[in-house]
A and B are shown apart, each in its own frame.
Chain A
Amino acid sequence: MSDLIQLSKFGVTEFEAQHALDRLNVRDVDYADLYFESRTSESVSMEEGIVKRAAKSISQGVGVRATAGEKTGFAYSDELTKKDLEIAADTARYIANSPKGDSPAPVPTQQRPTRDLYPMEQAKAEVATAERVALLNEIDAEARRYDPRIKNVLASFNTEYKMVAVATSDGTLVTDIQPLSRLQITCIAEEGDNRQVGSFGGGGRVAFEFYREGGRHLDYAREAAREAILNLSAVDAPAGVMPVVLSGGWPGILLHEAIGHGLEADFNRKKTSAFSSLVGKRVASDVCTIVDDGTLPSRRGSLNMDDEGTPTSCTTLIEKGILRGYITDKLNARLMGIPLTGNGRRENYQSVVLPRMTNTFMLAGESDPQDIIRSVKKGLYAVSFGGGQVDITNGKFVFSASEAYLIEDGQITKPVKGATLIGNGPEILTKVSMVGHDLKLDNGIGTCGKDGQSVPVGVGLPTIKIDEITVGGTRS
Chain B
Amino acid sequence: MAKKISVPVEIANGYAQLASDVLARAKTCGATEADIVVADGETLSVQVRVGAVDRLTKAREKRLGLRVFIGKRSATTSTSDFSHESLERLVEDTCTLAGAVVEDTVSGLPDAAQMATDQPNLDLYDDTVLDTETQIDWAKRGEAAAFATDKRVTNSEGAEFDSSSGRVVLANSHGFVGSYKSSSFSLSVSPIATDSETGAMQRDAWYEVQRKFGRLASAESIGQEAAKRAVRRLGARKVSTKRIPVVFDQETAGSLLANLCGAVSGYGLYKRASFLLDKLGQTIASELITVYDDGRMVGGLGSRPFDGEGLATRKNTIVERGVLKSYMLDTYSGKKLGLPSTGNASRSVGESPSVGPTNFYLVPGTKRAQEIIGSVKDGLYITELIGFGINMVTGDYSRGAAGFWIENGELAYPVEEITIAGNLKQMLKDIEIVGSDLVFRGRITSPTLKISEMMVAGN
Which residues on A are within 8 Å of B, measured CB to CB? 8-11, 44, 47-48, 50-61, 70-81, 91, 94-95, 128-130, 133, 151-152, 154, 186, 188, 190, 195-197, 237, 239-241, 270-272, 274, 350, 352, 386-394, 396-400, 417-420, 422-424, 470-476
A75-B59, A350-B59, A394-B203 given as contacts; is B155 within 8 A of A418 (CB)? no
Q: Which of chain B's residues have a CB closer than 8 A to the CB of A475?
A: 455
Is the pair B421, A239 in contact by a Cβ cutoff of 8 Å?
Answer: yes
Is the pair A152, B272 in contact by a Cβ cutoff of 8 Å?
Answer: yes
Q: Which of chain A's residues have a CB closer than 8 A to the CB of B386?
A: 389-391, 396, 398
* Of B15-23, B101-109, B178-186, the one touching chain A: B101-109
Q: Which of chain A's residues have a CB closer than 8 A to the CB of B58?
A: 74-75, 91
Is the pair B243, A472 in contact by a Cβ cutoff of 8 Å?
Answer: no
- The answer to the question of B97 belonging to the interface, with a C-beta cut-off of 8 Å to chain A, is yes
- The answer to the question of B157 belonging to the interface, with a C-beta cut-off of 8 Å to chain A, is yes
- The answer to the question of B172 belonging to the interface, with a C-beta cut-off of 8 Å to chain A, is no
A75 to B75, CA, bound (A): 32
User: Shortest beta-carbon distance, B246 to chain A, in Å?
Assistant: 13
- The answer to the question of B340 belonging to the interface, with a C-beta cut-off of 8 Å to chain A, is no
Is the pair A79, B4 in contact by a Cβ cutoff of 8 Å?
Answer: yes
Is the pair A474, B398 in contact by a Cβ cutoff of 8 Å?
Answer: yes
Is the pair A188, B271 in contact by a Cβ cutoff of 8 Å?
Answer: yes
Q: Show 19 residue pairs from A and B whose CB-CB distance is below 8 angstroms, ordered by the A residue.
A: A50-B102, A52-B107, A54-B75, A54-B97, A129-B100, A152-B273, A197-B391, A197-B393, A197-B394, A272-B201, A386-B388, A387-B387, A389-B386, A393-B203, A417-B396, A419-B419, A422-B417, A470-B238, A470-B457
Is the pair B1, A10 in contact by a Cβ cutoff of 8 Å?
Answer: yes
User: Shortest beta-carbon distance, B428 to chain A, in Å?
Assistant: 16
User: Shortest beta-carbon distance, B173 to chain A, in Å?
Assistant: 19
Most buried by A among B78, B156, B455: B455
Q: Which of chain A's residues have a CB closer than 8 A to the CB of B100?
A: 54, 128-130, 133
A398-B400, A418-B396, A419-B389 given as contacts; is B155 within 8 A of A272 (CB)? yes
Which residues on B are within 8 Å of A, measured CB to CB? 1, 3-4, 6, 49, 52-63, 74-81, 86, 90, 93-94, 96-98, 100-102, 104, 107, 132, 155-157, 192, 200-203, 233, 236, 238, 241-243, 271-273, 277, 350-352, 386-389, 391, 393-394, 396, 398-400, 402, 416-423, 455-459
Most buried by B among A57, A59, A237: A57
Instruction: Identify A239's interface contact among B59, B107, B457, CB under 8 A.
Output: B457
Q: Which of chain A's residues have a CB closer than 8 A to the CB of B394?
A: 195-197, 417
Is the pair A78, B101 in contact by a Cβ cutoff of 8 Å?
Answer: no
A394-B200, A473-B455, A474-B422 given as contacts; is B56 within 8 A of A11 (CB)? no
Q: Which of chain A's residues have a CB closer than 8 A to the CB of B242?
A: 476
Is the pair A352, B57 in contact by a Cβ cutoff of 8 Å?
Answer: yes
A467 to B273, CA, bound (A): 36
Question: Do most interface residues of chain A lie in helix, strand or loop, or is the interface mixed?
Answer: strand
Most buried by A among B1, B86, B389, B402: B389
Is the pair A57, B398 in contact by a Cβ cutoff of 8 Å?
Answer: no
Is the pair B57, A398 in contact by a Cβ cutoff of 8 Å?
Answer: no
A53-B76, A54-B75, A398-B386 given as contacts; is B418 within 8 A of A422 (CB)? yes
A38 to B156, CA, bound (A): 36
A54-B100, A472-B389, A476-B455 given as contacts; is B6 within 8 A of A72 (CB)? no
User: Shortest beta-carbon distance, A7 to chain B, in Å?
Assistant: 11
A271 to B157, CA, bound (A): 9
Is the pair B421, A419 in contact by a Cβ cutoff of 8 Å?
Answer: yes
Residue on B with the closest CB to A393?
B203
Q: Which of chain B's residues have a CB closer than 8 A to the CB of A60?
A: 80-81
User: Shortest beta-carbon distance, A469 to chain B, in Å?
Assistant: 10
A133 to B101, CA, bound (A): 7
Instruction: Identify B4's interface contact among A80, A133, A239, A471, CB under 8 A.
Output: A80
A70 to B96, CA, bound (A): 49
Most buried by B among A60, A71, A239, A473: A239
Q: Which of chain A's residues have a CB closer than 8 A to the CB of B1?
A: 8-11
Is the pair A470, B396 in contact by a Cβ cutoff of 8 Å?
Answer: no
A94-B132, A239-B457, A274-B201 given as contacts; is B79 within 8 A of A57 (CB)? yes
Q: Which of chain A's residues have a CB closer than 8 A to the CB of B389?
A: 386, 398, 400, 418-420, 472
User: Shortest beta-carbon distance, A137 to chain B, in Å?
Assistant: 9
A392 to B400, CA, bound (A): 14
User: Shortest beta-carbon distance, A375 to chain B, in Å?
Assistant: 23
Residue on B with the closest CB to A241?
B459
User: Shortest beta-carbon distance, B14 to chain A, in Å?
Assistant: 19
Residue on A with the closest CB to B94?
A56
User: Shortest beta-carbon distance, A398 to chain B, in Å?
Assistant: 4
Give the top 7 A-B pairs by smallest Cβ distance, nearest first. A472-B419, A398-B387, A398-B400, A393-B203, A420-B389, A387-B388, A129-B100
A397 to B350, CA, bound (A): 34
User: Shortest beta-carbon distance, B111 to chain A, in Å?
Assistant: 20
Is the pair B350, A239 in contact by a Cβ cutoff of 8 Å?
Answer: no
Is the pair B387, A188 in contact by a Cβ cutoff of 8 Å?
Answer: no
A304 to B416, CA, bound (A): 40
Is the pair A396, B416 in contact by a Cβ cutoff of 8 Å?
Answer: yes
A291 to B448, CA, bound (A): 44
Instruction: Identify A472's interface contact among B3, B78, B233, B421, CB under 8 A.
Output: B421
Residue on A with the closest CB to B426?
A474
A51-B102, A55-B352, A188-B393 given as contacts; is B457 within 8 A of A472 (CB)? yes
User: Shortest beta-carbon distance, A195 to chain B, in Å?
Assistant: 6
Instruction: Identify A78's interface contact among B80, B416, B417, CB under 8 A.
Output: B80
A147 to B450, CA, bound (A): 42
Is the pair A237, B98 in contact by a Cβ cutoff of 8 Å?
Answer: no
Q: Which of chain A's residues have a CB closer than 8 A to the CB of B49?
A: 70, 270
Residue on B with the closest CB to A386?
B388
Is the pair B396, A388 in contact by a Cβ cutoff of 8 Å?
Answer: no
User: Shortest beta-carbon distance, A307 to chain B, in Å?
Assistant: 16
Identify 4 new A-B residue pairs, CB closer than 8 A, beyond the known A80-B4, A391-B386, A419-B419: A9-B1, A70-B52, A78-B80, A195-B393
Residue on A with the closest CB to B384?
A391
Is the pair B387, A420 in contact by a Cβ cutoff of 8 Å?
Answer: yes
A11 to B5, CA, bound (A): 12
A11 to B63, CA, bound (A): 18
Residue on B with the closest CB to A61?
B80
User: Shortest beta-carbon distance, B77 to chain A, in Å?
Assistant: 5
A386 to B388, CA, bound (A): 7
User: Shortest beta-carbon distance, B262 to chain A, in Å?
Assistant: 14
Q: Which of chain A's residues have a CB closer than 8 A to the CB of B456?
A: 239
Is the pair A419, B107 in contact by a Cβ cutoff of 8 Å?
Answer: no
A418 to B396, CA, bound (A): 8
